[in-house]
Structure 1
Amino acid sequence: MILTLALSLAPQFSTGPQPVAPYGLPHTQPSAPISQGQGSGGPAVIEDFEAYVVGVGSAENIGSTFLDDTTITGTGQGPGLTLAGTFYSCTGGSLQWNGDTYFGLPTKTFLANSGDSTLYVGYAVPQASVGFGLHAFSGFADTATVEAYDTSGSLVDTVTVNVPGPATVPVTLTGPNIQRVIIRGTYSWSPIIDDHDFDGGTSCGLQLSVSGSCPGPMTFTVNGGAPGDPCKFGYAFGTGSFVIPSGPCAGTVTGLDGTATPVPGTFLFDGAGQVNQTFFVPPGACGAVYVQAINLADCCTSNVILIP
């Protein structure tokens, strides 16, 4: 499980001082892109990295090598610094947040000040398409290689582009079940990213919603299945990347954490491709329990919802 591996391989907080990038001398940049991606897509949400408080014209190492929406950084900011459904990590040094106008950058941006030029990005739900706006510090033109890997660890798309300076260089990667992206540059720090667009809920069209008042009977509606396909629900007390251990969808990465528990019963999509199922929700679940649905025919997972 990628999230577990990231947590075990890299400590959450950096262990020593790290100068804020950029530093050293700029490199000579090739004159043209080396390769291009496979196409474009339409992911659902955009992370713009505007939540962290950093001064205009400055940058800050956040004192952490792992960041998701639950992280409190080594500088004391968070949680809620990023959108749910994705995480960012590096193997050393610190993740770094850049303020507006820092070395010519147009808005707040993000990088891994890691010493090995690499930023890792992971997803709670496998993606069909992901995109980034890449930048470089003014005077430090870079060449970025961006690789997408699926749930089995196989490379499904790669892009290598020149990043001349602060102006945005858009990159999109596509492929089945993208679980992890690796972004590498030519300096000690990674290429700079902004406007990370990805599907925060589902990459295969299954949509979950809920109606009713908690506690009490609540109706969970799933849209997007084929008529007659079997559907199951699961719940947990947090979001994460729990992997289903057995059954027809063994190996599927969910958006729930390790407390994930299947709801008894299997329900069939009707002629309109919909499941409507009412459950009694106890008081302890209100505002505390997350729910996700899965189509057992194709192992497509829905968005994750928090019971209100």
Structure 2
Amino acid sequence: MLPFMCEDEFSFFRHSRTMHQGNQTTISGFFLLGLAVGSEQQLLIFTLFLCMYLVTMLGNSLIILAIISDTYLHSPMYFFLANLSFADICFTTTTVPKLLADIPSQNPTISFAGCLTQMYFFMLLVDLDNFLLAAMAYDRYIAVCHPLHYVALLSPKRCALLVVIPWVISNIVSVLHLSLLSRLPFCDQRVVPHFFCDLEPILRLACADTQFNNLLILVVGGAVIFIPFSFILVSYALIGTAVLAVPSVKGKWKTFSTCASHLSAVSLFYGSIVGVYFLPASSYSAERDKVAAIMYTVITPMMNPFIYSLRNKDMKRALRRLLSKIHVFLSW
């Protein structure tokens, strides 16, 4: 059974908004199956996701404001962190508000244009997160292995390029996928077993051969994910070598602790991404896909502010100053 819609209503929806052309249709929209929850659980699920979304927005916004307002944090590491927080705000906003609107809805649909728009921003921002994590790994590598050349190797111009170039590449990849997807014919069946428009579930609804699209996901998507990920692995291999060369145990721990937050974020992000997009197509599972998607669209953006602030003395100090300024402002 489809959640939030009875069989007769779904049948009427399927036939009333579709112009039939043989076995293919002119797509006017998709039905998002969403999260399989009963009516008695809707309020709990809605409240849970709303709270996580608000925490994500508040936490990442505070990180950005703290970095902007504290001149001590005007360094490459925090510049990349501010961009990551901004990307996470946009990332979670791409999917969660629509999910919240669909949970109590009896007709959770999305137009074809709206679906393409959501996919564009989703792919753009997931790729951008990937590149920003690689840029942050490069920052940690320079800080640990070449501290005397840190300022020269991470000049403002180079830092700007390490952010602008990922935006450009991510845009190109998103447009490439969508330009091919938009030309595919779709069948009568328009039920998307997901809570947002993701590329893999939408491709499964096409009435044409999608082997080239799947190949593009594997080649281009693999390059966009695994090249930065390999760069992160190499960076940390070099960092590990440098840490082992530190004579004292305390010195080893102090050096490695500067990378702990970034390593936690990388593990959380890539663990869910690889589980969705780079397992064999034969092992595809809609439920597994949704769980993993919740991890990287909701949980990871919410956890990043905690990961980067709880064990970072400079960030905690900046946040305390920012909150005191906000308190003074509000008390006026």
Q: TM-score, normalised by structure 1?
A: 0.27
Which protein is richer in strand relative to its size?
1
Q: Specify which structure has the bigger relative contact order, considering alpha-carbon pairs within 8 angstroms and separated by 6 or more residues.
A: 2
Which protein is richer in helix relative to its size?
2
Select the structure of larger CA radius of gyration: 2
Q: TM-score, normalised by structure 2?
A: 0.26
